Amino acid sequence: MTDYNALKQFATARQLEVLAAIEKHGSGLEAAKALGINPSNVSRNLQRLRDAAAMKGVSPEHDMVHAVPDAYVVKGVSTYYDKDGKPAGQWVKSTLDDAKRRAAMQAAVAAMAEELPRVLPTAAPAQTQETLLNLFTLTDTHIGALSWRKETGADWDLHIAEATLVGCFEHMVNAAPPARVALVNQLGDFMHYDSMTPVTPLHGHVLDADGRFSKMVATAIRVLRRVVDLALLKHEQVVLLIAEGNHDMASSVWLRQMFKALYENEPRVQVIDSELPYYAYQHGETMLAFHHGHLKKNDQLPLLFAAQFPKLWGNTTKRYAHTGHRHHVEEKEHSGMTVHQHPTLAARDAYAARGGWIADRQVAALTYHSKFGEVARNTVTPEMLDAVVV
């Protein structure tokens, strides 16, 4: 029997509410009736609480009673017993293991999403073009990065990133035709780093960072909320992709789950929900595929997407893959699919500047017809935010 009193320190507000109802009404079934929820919802909350506590080293029914510090998870627990079978001592090993931390984060995000206020539905625009889809791509924006003009050629920080990304997105939306569908393609490396420490997730390279992690998170959420709202003003349907990048592998998980919950009650918003870093969307006879670019090279993508999405591939005649990661433009046909590598709006960092890597900063709104594929393109640069374009 689980002693939930010992686990309350790890509980969310919703889980505390469930526990209080169980204590008051005597069972999970009666608690569910009192709260007006499904009994399976009660069970899920209790299981998430047990899992979260166990990840921190606390599971009283297994004689685990020593919690590990924040940002750590339990790697192993060894309990030794006296001759009467009572615990006489215990070794608790903790680690920053990424796989376990990712699992814990997914559980925490799922719990948080249940409590997140939902966005209310809004009225669709009066008229849109049924056969068109506008693709708005933001990739490698590196919100949270710090760049110094004298060293890199341009400044970049949280304030500049927010103003630039929202401003350029608004330009793209205004210039694009009134398509029925907008696909907001956040193609990875939206955030510059993925933890309380400004280092790359896989290799631990130290990064130039602006501000604290919580400030970066708040900015990223504001930007993404703003671009979705801008897209809703002009399009009947908005499809949101939050792709995994190599700088924000874990953050892409909680961002995706958060926005899926946030727009749960807005039928005009669809969040592409995939745990694999390969994504696809069908627009009539046009296939749109997406991958950040950190795991596969561009010429490998057509065969991968054909194998990963065989029915979608077979039902389409125009096929396009979109990648980022390398921060510069490249567009080439490979085996029945055009692969478009997108540049970034972000200023290069000191590492790129010292390495001599130079690329134009820009974004493009690509318009696709359901039968004919790409039919229009509008390009926006950061300089356009300060200029009067005639």
> Can you spell out the DSSP letters for 350-365?
HHHHHTT------EEE
Distances in Å between the Cα of 33 and the Cα atoms of 25, 38, 121, 130, 131 are 9, 8, 29, 45, 47
Are 72 and 182 members of one domain? no
Are 264 and 238 members of one domain? yes
Are 287 and 351 members of one domain? yes
**Per-residue pLDDT at 389 exceeds 50:** no
Q: Is 119 inside any structural domain?
A: no
Could you tell me the two tokens for 371? 């039968």
Query: Can you give the pTM of this predicted structure?
Result: 0.73
Of 55, 83, 114, the domain-final residue? 114
Are 338 and 318 members of one domain? yes
Q: Please report the pLDDT score of residue 50 as a whole number.
A: 84
Q: Please report the pLDDT score of residue 386 as a whole number.
A: 79
Q: Is 42 inside any structural domain?
A: yes
How many Å apart are CA 133 and CA 80, to the nearest integer?
63
Question: How far apart are the two ends of the chain, measured CA to CA in Å?
Answer: 73
Q: Please report the pLDDT score of residue 58 as a whole number.
A: 72
Are 204 and 278 members of one domain? yes
Binning pLDDT at 50, 70 and 90, where does residue 96 land? very low
For residue 291, how many C-alpha atoms fall within 13 Å in the half-sphere facing its CB?
A: 19
Of 57, 90, 114, the domain-final residue? 114
Strand partners, 241: 185
DSSP label at residue 8: G
- For 5-22, write each residue's pLDDT tens digit: 877 888 888 889 998 999
Average pLDDT of span 144-170: 95
8 A C-beta contact, residue 319 and residue 300: no
Pairing of strands 269-271, 237-242: parallel
Could you tell me the two tokens for 283? 């627009």
Could you tell me the two tokens for 203? 């290799």
Q: Please report the pLDDT score of residue 54 as a whole number.
A: 77
Greater confidence (113 vs 323) lies with 323
Of 114, 136, 170, the domain-final residue? 114
Are 233 and 163 members of one domain? yes
- For 254-312, write each residue's pLDDT tens digit: 999 999 999 999 999 999 999 999 999 999 999 999 999 999 999 999 999 999 999 99
**Per-residue pLDDT at 390 exceeds 50:** no
CATH assignment of the domain containing 298: 3.60.21.10
Sign of CA dihedral 158, 159, 163, 166: positive
Q: Please report the pLDDT score of residue 210 as a whole number.
A: 92
In one-letter notation, the amino acid at residue 189 is D
Are 11 and 130 members of one domain? no
**Per-residue pLDDT at 131 exceeds 50:** yes
Reported as type and span, the H/E element at residue 45 is helix 39-55
Q: Please report the pLDDT score of residue 49 as a whole number.
A: 86
Strand partners, 332: 339
Q: Is 161 inside any structural domain?
A: yes
Binning pLDDT at 50, 70 and 90, where does residue 80 land? low
Q: Is 54 inside any structural domain?
A: yes
Are 237 and 378 members of one domain? yes
Instruction: Please choose, from the candidates 206, 232, 207, 215, the residue with its C-alpha nearest in 3D space to the C-alpha of residue 161.
Output: 215
How many Å apart are CA 324 and CA 361, to the nearest integer?
13
Q: Please report the pLDDT score of residue 163 as a whole number.
A: 96
Average pLDDT, the chain: 87
**Per-residue pLDDT at 113 exceeds 60:** no
Total count of domains within the chain: 2
Are 72 and 143 members of one domain? no
Q: Is 145 inside any structural domain?
A: yes
Q: Give the domain extent around 91.
A: 4-114
Q: Is 36 inside any structural domain?
A: yes
**Per-residue pLDDT at 173 exceeds 90:** yes
Are 253 and 140 members of one domain? yes
Q: Over 145-209, what HEC string results?
A: ECECHHHHCCCECHHHHHHHHHHHHHHHHHHCCCEEEEEEEECCCCECCCCCCCECCCCCCECCE
Residues contacting 387, CB < 8 A, separation 6+: none
> Can you spell out the DSSP letters for 246-266?
SS-HHHHHHHHHHHHHHTTT-
Binning pLDDT at 50, 70 and 90, where does residue 34 land? very high
Are 334 and 357 members of one domain? yes
Q: Please report the pLDDT score of residue 298 as a whole number.
A: 96
Q: Please report the pLDDT score of residue 106 as a whole number.
A: 59
Are 316 and 202 members of one domain? yes
Could you tell me the two tokens for 80? 């030794």
Report the range of poorest mean pLDDT among 72-86, 137-151, 275-289.
Answer: 72-86
8 A C-beta contact, residue 34 and residue 21: yes
**Per-residue pLDDT at 332 exceeds 90:** yes
Average pLDDT of span 42-49: 88
Q: Is 120 inside any structural domain?
A: no
In one-letter notation, the amino acid at residue 218 is A
